[in-house]
Chain A
Amino acid sequence: MKENLYNYILGIADNSLILGQRMGELTGHGPSLEIDIACTNISLDLFGQVRSYYQYAAKIAGDGRTEDDIAMLRKERDYLNVLLVEQPNTDFAYTIARQYLFDVYHAMFLTALQSSHDITLSAIATKSIKEVSYHQRFSSDWIKRLGDGTNESKLKIQNAVNTLWTYTDELFHQTEADKAMVTEHIGVDVTQLKKAYYQKVTSLLTEAALEVPKLKWFQKGGKSGIHTEHLGYLLSDLQYMQRTYPNMEW
């Protein structure tokens, strides 16, 4: 099997899987019905993307595993998502800050992935970019509303951005699979996205009357399967049925 391509796909898909799972936690509990619907929609879009990626990964693996086996039956150390997306829904400010900090990256990444020489990945990127542009519009609008809303909302969103900032740098780290895929013109060179990312985020935070954190220390590890303590609980839910009732169809 094409190990690098397989791992590369998981690296992309796991981000959507874990973030989709986080957004799905909010369904029915949103601050308003409209926001509830929007968050559920983001979750739906992400899981839709996840299915395309894992179906492709399953084909590459070619060992009989299905999309669900890949999504739900790996060990905690085998999930390759960035730490950012697994951070909990502490409050709506955290949800929005997490979403926004990921959306900006995600849109840039998918834009670049559209020119992948792998036609399946390029097609998934083209389909997903429309959805992700909508996510980015939603999260940027809320960053502005919260940043330039009330004193309380400003404090909360600033606090969330400050806390989550430490997880942004990892978005631009390259794994071995990344490097190999870049060489084959299949993957995106994420190091090239970093400058534009921070420019874009800085400009929006400034517009939202927020401060850009001046952090020098960053957390990493997700891409090599070393996660925060939050992930295990998320996986317990995600995997519950597959673990409790193994080898069944649903």
Chain B
Amino acid sequence: MSEEQIKNLEQQFEARIARDEKIEPKDWMPEKYRKTHIRQISQHAHSEIVGMLPEGNWITRAPSLRRKVALLAKVQDEAGHGLYLYSACETLGVSRNELYEQLHTGKAKYSSIFNYPTITWADMGAIGWLVDGAAIINQVPLCSTSYGPYARAMIRVCKEESFHQRQGFEIMMKLANGTPEQKELAQDALNRWWWPSLMMLGPTDAESVHTEQSMKWKLKRKSNDDLRQQFIDQTVPQADLIGLTIPDPNLKWNEERGSYDFGEINWDEFWQVVKGHGPCNKERIDARVNAWNNGEWVRDAAVAYADKKATKKQRQAV
């Protein structure tokens, strides 16, 4: 193809997106579009499955049978999200094994929030309420993103995430309205998860790369700072409602802006965790790598068994 032809195709492609048409796997797409989508969707898929670990940590210790069932179901949903997202990513011509390889070697990123430890039961409430809550704010706009398989996966995912968010809030509410000891658990969890949740919405706009292109492709519709403000404005009244205090002395309603002003985010901590030096980065990757390595013989057996079956069938057919 000549350079001009490619340019032409690119123009048509961008025009389709501008018209809100969906791009499907068999459609022509610029290489950069493909690569950017592989990166973002796989990063999202990895976040879902790494995200299973901090919550999976409390399955055996959930305080009641009802909570245990709900937690199991939630973590299972996250595995399901991982599955749809890996499948969406595979439509772009990359295999799930390659994507795992990138995760295991540290080449691919996942949401940094999952590098914080879950040390009390209240963390299950805080994660559902804040982390799933921030995820929804990030993800709802993606339900109308330009790449069809991603958009469709996000519609399913978002429905479940809002359920998780309500469930998490309900855990927190129960604790906040419980005994003083329970209330302390809830407040402590909020103290520990608040700032990392704000960081989850991404670096501040001044430091954020590839936003413009992403806006064009509808991978991003609002800036990180706008999303963060939306999250804060939505969450503060919820904390008030259950009598918990947001751990930010500078948090204040700004009548003029119709939004909350808030304190300085510790970006050094953010970059430290992103670069691999958070409290649980090593544990999380080790857990994924171990699961994968320990499972190798199982996956090999399944392949060998299927091959034998297929050969047998072929022989019978002859």
Interface residues, chain A, with chain B CB atoms under 8 Å away: 21, 24-25, 27-37, 40-41, 43-44, 47-48, 50-51, 54, 67-68, 71-72, 91-92, 144-146, 148-150, 152-153, 156, 234, 237-238, 240-242, 245, 248-250
Knowing A28-B56, A29-B290, A44-B76 touch, does A150 contact B64 (C-beta < 8 A)? no
Interface residues, chain B, with chain A CB atoms under 8 Å away: 49, 52-53, 56, 59-69, 72-73, 75-76, 79-80, 82-83, 86, 121, 171, 174-175, 178-179, 181-182, 287, 290-291, 294-305, 308
Decide: B300 and A41 in contact? CB cutoff 8 A: no
Decide: A33 and B79 in contact? CB cutoff 8 A: yes
Decide: A149 and B301 in contact? CB cutoff 8 A: yes
In angstroms, Cα B290 to Cα A29, docked, is 8
Decide: A27 and B76 in contact? CB cutoff 8 A: yes
With a cutoff of 8 Å between Cβ atoms, the chain A residues found around residue B121 in the complex are 241, 250
Decide: A28 and B298 in contact? CB cutoff 8 A: no
Which single member of B49, B62, B66, B302 contacts A51 (CB below 8 Å)?
A: B66
Decide: A47 and B72 in contact? CB cutoff 8 A: yes
Decide: A40 and B72 in contact? CB cutoff 8 A: yes
Decide: A148 and B305 in contact? CB cutoff 8 A: yes
Chain B interface mostly: helix
Minimal beta-carbon separation of B31 from chain A (angstroms): 28
Knowing A54-B65, A240-B61 touch, does A149 contact B304 (C-beta < 8 A)? yes
Residue of B with least CB distance to A43: B72
Decide: B83 and A241 in contact? CB cutoff 8 A: no
Q: List 6 A-B contacts (CB under 8 A).
A: A21-B60, A31-B291, A33-B79, A37-B79, A92-B294, A241-B61
Which single member of B67, B76, B294, B297 contacts A250 (CB below 8 Å)?
A: B67
Decide: A249 and B61 in contact? CB cutoff 8 A: no
Decide: B298 and A37 in contact? CB cutoff 8 A: no
Decide: B291 and A28 in contact? CB cutoff 8 A: yes
With a cutoff of 8 Å between Cβ atoms, the chain A residues found around residue B68 in the complex are 24, 47
Minimal beta-carbon separation of B262 from chain A (angstroms): 31
Minimal beta-carbon separation of B195 from chain A (angstroms): 25
Decide: B60 and A29 in contact? CB cutoff 8 A: no
With a cutoff of 8 Å between Cβ atoms, the chain B residues found around residue A51 in the complex are 65-66, 69
Decide: A27 and B56 in contact? CB cutoff 8 A: yes
Knowing A92-B298, A145-B301, A146-B298 touch, does A28 contact B53 (C-beta < 8 A)? yes
In angstroms, Cα B298 to Cα A245, docked, is 40
Q: Which 7 A-B pairs have the closest CB atoms?
A: A31-B295, A149-B301, A153-B301, A241-B63, A28-B56, A31-B298, A28-B52
Decide: A44 and B69 in contact? CB cutoff 8 A: yes
Minimal beta-carbon separation of A68 from chain B (angstroms): 5
Query: Could you list 18 further interchain pairs (A-B, Cβ under 8 angstroms) beyond the known A31-B296, A248-B179?
Result: A24-B68, A27-B59, A28-B287, A29-B290, A31-B295, A37-B80, A48-B69, A91-B294, A92-B298, A150-B300, A152-B297, A152-B300, A153-B300, A156-B297, A234-B60, A241-B121, A245-B181, A249-B178
Decide: A44 and B287 in contact? CB cutoff 8 A: no
With a cutoff of 8 Å between Cβ atoms, the chain A residues found around residue B72 in the complex are 24, 27, 40, 43-44, 47
Decide: A248 and B178 in contact? CB cutoff 8 A: yes
With a cutoff of 8 Å between Cβ atoms, the chain A residues found around residue B175 in the complex are 250
With a cutoff of 8 Å between Cβ atoms, the chain B residues found around residue A148 in the complex are 305, 308
Knowing A33-B82, A40-B76, A44-B73 touch, does A68 contact B298 (C-beta < 8 A)? no
Decide: B300 and A242 in contact? CB cutoff 8 A: no
Knowing A51-B69, A249-B178 touch, does A152 contact B301 (C-beta < 8 A)? yes
Decide: A28 and B83 in contact? CB cutoff 8 A: no
Which of B67, B179, B304 has most A Cβ within 10 Å? B304
Residue of A with least CB distance to B177: A249
Residue of A with least CB distance to B72: A44
In angstroms, Cα B67 to Cα A30, docked, is 22
